[in-house]
């Protein structure tokens, strides 16, 4: 199902951490200036695992415990989106069932606030999945594209194998801690590689770059406004995505990407903190500031009110 994408990169080795053929948004000019940065790596990064990949040079810039398997929480939804995107049919209408809402409530998951009976397109639900990190939207997409959540999760694991993510296991479609807190797990290296595949898709790339997405009320559905949980967007110069994740076991985590001065970096921090949700953004900023040779340290903005934290 993602065979064609995997085939394009079969000749590349995992050790080299390929991030796909870079599309125009991610591409850099041939003579992009190399940033001046200390050789030792970024300071102040507290995440248990982290990796920063230089898309422009095609090499890992810095890493920590990059091959240690850890729970990844809602970063799981990157693969959920990728499976949907590669199956296509984004205009199909999906009816929101009560069981999707009950599921998110039962597991205390982040939601997009969907209403039972609403009919939304798969494209709209991708925004509900990736911006507010809606577990209700994840279930709706998995149920439609499996069909059924079990078959959908099998497709996620098949895709992981096809893409060479050999240390990645999906137990569900949203990263919630069931059947156990660590059933869905991966490594920083695998997930940054996945980020490259995902950002190679124009629809995915445009979706995760949005700060908000609004739908007006129609006969088919309620009005919705979804806000992106990634607070680097709009506050960190050059940030272009991509996904937050949080559970007690995973801690506050973030997959991120930024482009500045003709250079692009993709990275991840896993478990920056279990108590301070700002830590993941600060970690990512430390890594990016070091990579770009920035001299003006980034300050995490306050969390917006009445929004989902994931």
Model confidence over 20-45: pLDDT tens digits? Answer: 333 333 443 344 556 666 668 999 99
Per-residue pLDDT, averaged over 268-292, amounts to 97
When the pLDDT of each residue in the chain is averaged and rounded to a whole number, the result is 90
pLDDT given at position 29: 38
3-state SS class at 261: coil
Torsion of CA 22, 30, 261, 48, to 10 degrees: 50
What sign does the dihedral 235-239-242-247 (CA atoms) show?
negative
pTM of the model: 0.90
- Tell me how far apart the alpha carbons of residues 241 and 299 are, in angstroms, rounded to a whole number: 18
Positions annotated as catalytic residues are 74, 77, 133
Report the DSSP beta bridge partners of residue 71.
185
Instruction: Kindly indicate the confidence band of residue 294, based on its pLDDT and cuts at 50, 70 and 90.
Output: confident
pLDDT of residue 37: 64
Instruction: Look at 12-16, 124-128, 274-278 and tell me which has the smallest mean pLDDT.
Output: 12-16
Is residue 282 pLDDT above 70, yes or no? yes
Q: Phi then psi for 214, rounded to 5 degrees?
A: -120, 140
**pLDDT exceeds 70 at position 11:** no
End-to-end CA distance of the chain: 29
pLDDT digits (tens, 9 = 90+) for 197-226: 999 999 999 999 999 999 999 999 999 999
């Amino acid at each position: 199902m993602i065979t064609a994408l995997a085939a394009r990169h079969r000749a590349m080795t995992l050790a080299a951490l390929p991030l796909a053929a870079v599309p125009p948004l991610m591409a850099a000019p041939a003579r992009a200036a190399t940033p001046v940065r200390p050789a030792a790596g970024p300071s102040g990064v507290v995440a248990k695992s982290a990796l920063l990949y230089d898309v422009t040079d095609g090499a890992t810039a810095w890493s920590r415990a990059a091959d240690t398997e850890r729970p990844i929480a809602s970063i799981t939804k990157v693969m959920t989106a990728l499976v949907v995107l590669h199956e296509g049919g984004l205009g199909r209408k999906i009816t929101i069932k009560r069981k999707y809402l009950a599921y998110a409530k039962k597991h205390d998951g982040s939601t997009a606030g969907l209403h039972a009976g609403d009919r939304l397109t798969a494209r709209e639900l991708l925004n509900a999945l990736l911006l507010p990190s809606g577990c209700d939207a994840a279930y709706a997409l998995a149920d439609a594209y499996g069909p059924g959540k079990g078959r959908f999760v099998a497709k996620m694991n098949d895709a992981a194998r096809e893409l060479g993510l050999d240390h990645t296991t999906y137990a569900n479609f949203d990263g919630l801690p069931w059947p156990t807190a660590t059933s869905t797990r991966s490594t920083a290296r695998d997930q940054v590689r996945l980020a490259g595949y995902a950002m190679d898709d124009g629809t995915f790339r445009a979706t995760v770059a949005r700060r908000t997405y609004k739908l007006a009320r129609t006969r088919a559905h309620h009005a919705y406004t979804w806000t992106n949980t990634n607070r680097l967007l709009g506050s960190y110069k050059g940030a272009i995505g991509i996904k937050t994740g949080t559970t007690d076991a995973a801690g506050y985590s973030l997959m991120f990407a930024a482009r500045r001065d003709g250079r692009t970096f993709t990275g991840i921090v896993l478990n920056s903190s279990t108590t301070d949700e700002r830590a993941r953004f600060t970690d990512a900023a430390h890594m990016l500031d070091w990579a770009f040779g920035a001299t003006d340290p980034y300050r995490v903005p306050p969390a917006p009110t009445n929004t989902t934290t994931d």
